[in-house]
Amino acid sequence: MRPPSEQLQRTRFDELGVLVVVAESGSLSAAAGRLGVPKSTVGRAIARIEEDLGVTLVRRMARGPALTEQGRALASLSAPHVTALRDATAALGREAVEAYGLLRVTAPSDVGAHLIAPLLPAFLARHPRVRVEVEHTLRVVDLVREGFDLAIRLTLGRLPPSTLIARKLMRMNLALYAGVGYAAQRDLPKHPGELAKHDNVVFYPGGNSLVLEGPKGIVKVAVAGRAAGNDFFFLREAIAAGVGIGPLPWFLASDELAAGRIVRVLPDHRAAGGTAYMVYPPAKPLAPKLAKFCAHLSEHVPRLAVQP
């Protein structure tokens, strides 16, 4: 019998698996049927182990081949390891298609609170092995360096060139609103040109101009105000407090309208609010947790974000 180190180097694990199946099945024929291979394939696998180890594992008997005492001993010693490998392989196969693990997402606070959080119960119920962690920020996060799986990014134009994958999530249209206190004190504008005479809450990524689309087409108007912000949560609260007229997406305005805190201004006009993208590092294949979460957002976010 050869030294153990050489045995381990030469003996192949799949052939030990065949030996274990022979021991479990009781015969070479039964093992071949269980494995779905010819009996000769089973015989050759056993013969290679015998050659590697220098032992006799199967003896020809009148009733057919049978494992020797050494064959039964080797099968018994190998069985736990073969079973562990089978289980690990099966688990690896499941992990390739099942969503699991921590999914780290970065998104603006308004998007996270109003478009992601309401969708989490259904997603988490469908994928019980996934945990979702959302970090709210307007900062452009380095996804790879900081360990994030996904970013939701809003842009008024195009995303800058990048090696990241970007998938369009939704086109976000805005409407103009004013707080009821402001509306009670001022005559609200009847056409876009009158906005310049009003106090405005400026969404400053768009600058001091506002592009509106209405019944007569697209018009660009100048807006001015002493309050500006790059976060729609801030704009909503400032508008509701009576600071002035400002743009909001429907998903942030709807509850305020229903509560009677704000009113619609120029209801026949909308402003382009940019496009929201799902951005993530390239990978083949995409991790199931990320692929399924992106599919979930794509299916449900437009329903929450678009005015009925």
The reply to whether 279 and 167 lie within a common domain is: yes
pLDDT at 76: 84
The reply to whether 289 and 253 lie within a common domain is: no
Last residue of a domain, one of 95, 128, 152: 95
Q: What is the CATH number of the domain that holds 231?
A: 3.40.190.290
Last residue of a domain, one of 95, 124, 145: 95
Mean pLDDT, consecutive 10-residue stretches, the chain (308 aa), reads: 43 75 83 84 84 82 76 82 68 63 94 93 95 94 94 86 91 92 94 93 81 89 88 94 94 92 95 88 90 95 73
Residue with tokens 């696998």: 45
The reply to whether 194 and 255 lie within a common domain is: yes
pLDDT at 162: 87
- Best CA proximity match to 242, nearest among 174, 175, 185: 185
The reply to whether 15 and 105 lie within a common domain is: no
pLDDT at 303: 79
The reply to whether 197 and 268 lie within a common domain is: yes
Domain count, the chain: 3
pLDDT at 298: 94
pTM summary value = 0.66
Q: What is the CATH number of the domain that holds 164?
A: 3.40.190.10
The reply to whether 38 and 184 lie within a common domain is: no
Domain that holds residue 290: 101-171+275-305
The reply to whether 85 and 108 lie within a common domain is: no
Residue with tokens 């993208």: 277
pLDDT at 173: 82
**Cα angle: 41, vertex 43, 47; to 5 degrees:** 115
The reply to whether 159 and 239 lie within a common domain is: no
Which residues have CB under 8 Å from 122's CB, separation 6+? 296, 300
Which residues have CB under 8 Å from 146's CB, separation 6+? none
